[in-house]
């Protein structure tokens, strides 16, 4: 063994490159979550529903304050609720309902028939909604898919125009990778295609914070598209640009019987008027 002089330091011999890589990978494996955990963090495509991002981005405060104007209670449901107890909801005063029909061009709600027809059978005025995924296919393509899978309209006085659910992306970037002008063009593409197929302008469901961020607070849809505002608070708050009033307000995700409850901004005859067009 060599003798060290006072004050000298023995430097460790460098690891071969292969050994160094092995050590680095071993250290990373101690801190990085396994692949299965990373995959579990992302929701499955098709699982989105109305208000999926409202609690995370807008929070919750207070009970709804309806004032003196007449309002009509409603609900919205999706595959998350499974078979819905429609007689219970009817007996509690709910008079209208929307059911998720589709998402993108890859998902249809397996409970759609029980939910859509069940609400109608107990006497409710019903409609269907589409969860938009602007990063997958065009607005016109998704409008056609929606109409072909339950999102149509008929002049029977009991069927509401279809609703476009356009909000936070649960699968990635909030604005689906689109600029504000691109998002406005995508929504217009959906709206025009839906109207061409059904003769009706669709309802637009959104939240003001998302709309401001992802469309630049565009006001051009207010003239024709009824607004369904999402805000879990004591009032609907500031509306997106252009709209002077809301038609519907989703005010909670924790209502009785099923999660999402809504107020129609008017008495039952106004709900019927929207159904008749």
The catalytic position among 73, 135, 148, 165 is 165
Burial (CB count within 10 angstroms: exposed 0-12, middle 13-18, buried 19+), residue 99: buried
- For the question of residue 103 being annotated catalytic, the response is no
> Which run of H or of E encompasses 164?
strand 163-165
- For the question of residue 135 being annotated catalytic, the response is no
The catalytic position among 58, 76, 260, 262 is 76
Tokens encoding 30: 């101690």
Residue positions counted in the chain: 277
Q: Distance of alpha carbon 268 from its chain centroid, rounded?
A: 26
Burial (CB count within 10 angstroms: exposed 0-12, middle 13-18, buried 19+), residue 108: middle
The catalytic position among 58, 103, 167, 260 is 167
- For the question of residue 269 being annotated catalytic, the response is no
Quote the DSSP letter at residue 159: B
Q: Distance of alpha carbon 183 from its chain centroid, rounded?
A: 15
Q: Which residues are catalytic?
A: 76, 165, 167
């Amino acid at each position: 063994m060599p003798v060290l002089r006072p004050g000298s330091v023995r430097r460790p011999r460098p690891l071969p490159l292969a050994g160094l890589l092995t050590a680095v990978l071993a250290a990373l494996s101690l801190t990085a979550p396994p692949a299965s955990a990373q995959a579990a963090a992302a929701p499955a495509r098709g699982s989105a529903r109305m208000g999926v991002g409202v609690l995370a981005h807008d929070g919750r405060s207070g009970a709804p304050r309806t004032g003196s104007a007449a309002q009509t209670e409603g609900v919205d449901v999706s595959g998350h609720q499974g078979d819905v107890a429609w007689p219970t909801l009817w007996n509690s005063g709910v008079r209208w309902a929307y059911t998720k029909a589709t998402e993108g061009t890859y998902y249809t709600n397996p409970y759609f028939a029980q939910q859509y027809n069940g609400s109608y059978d107990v006497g409710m005025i019903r409609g269907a909604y589409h969860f938009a995924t602007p990063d997958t296919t065009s607005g016109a393509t998704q409008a056609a898919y929606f109409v072909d899978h339950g999102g149509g309209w008929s002049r029977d006085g009991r069927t509401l125009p279809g609703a476009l659910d356009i909000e936070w992306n649960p699968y990635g970037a909030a604005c689906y990778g689109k600029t504000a002008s691109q998002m406005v063009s995508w929504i217009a593409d959906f709206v025009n295609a839906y109207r061409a197929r059904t003769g009706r302008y669709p309802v637009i469901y959104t939240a003001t914070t998302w709309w401001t961020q992802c469309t630049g607070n565009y006001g051009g849809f207010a003239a024709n598209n009824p607004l369904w505002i999402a805000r879990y608070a004591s009032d609907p708050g500031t509306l997106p640009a252009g709209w002077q009033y809301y038609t519907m307000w989703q005010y909670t995700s924790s209502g009785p019987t099923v999660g999402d409850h809504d107020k129609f901004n008017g008495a039952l005859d106004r709900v019927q008027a929207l159904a008749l067009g």
